[in-house]
Amino acid sequence: MTQYIWKFQELNTLNYGSAHATHDVTLIINLGCPDSRAWYLKNEPLLFGKVANGNIQLHIKLWDKPVDDLKNGGIADQYIDYHQPQQARDLIHNIFTDQAKLNQLSPAQVGPYLTQTYGLTQANASASKLTANEVASARITNLPSIIVDNQFQPEESFDLSAL
């Protein structure tokens, strides 16, 4: 079994729920990734319901995966304020909902778009490097990536309702 060692610091992690929750879930996503979008929007109500009832402590990490098609998502990731997890949750939902607009922009247009549309300013450029180092150490290559109780779960077959 591969051990995943994560630092759940507010510099690059959105933390939700109790440290005494039954399960620990780490979700690695990119705001420009269609697969991250599909998984997150499909599972968001159940995921946060399980956070609210104490079944899950959730850690969300935004990964600027070095792939051209995900470049805009990596830029958008830098606009998330990790010190405001509830606001960040709402932003993730809204950005995923309007992901097609984000992905149609040139990289130079992403910052102004996020500022105009959501009132954001770049909040945390260093978070991308911290998360990239953790992802590389864990040898994770896929988005989204889901780690439950220190075990990688394939997103296509993972049943969140079983937790």
pLDDT at 2: 52
Q: What is the pLDDT of residues 64-113, one digit of tens each?
A: 998 999 999 999 999 999 889 999 999 999 999 999 999 999 999 999 99
3-state secondary structure 10-71: CCCCEEECCCCCCEEEEEEECCCCHHHHHHHHHHHHHHHHHHHCCCEEEEEEECCCCCHHHH
Mean pLDDT of 34-54: 96
Q: What is the pLDDT of residues 8-25, one digit of tens each?
A: 666 689 999 999 999 999
Instruction: Tell whether the model's pLDDT for residue 44 goes beyond 60.
Output: yes
Is 79 in contact with 114 (CB distance < 8 Å)?
yes
Say what the pTM is.
Answer: 0.91
pLDDT at 9: 60
Higher pLDDT, 4 or 157: 157
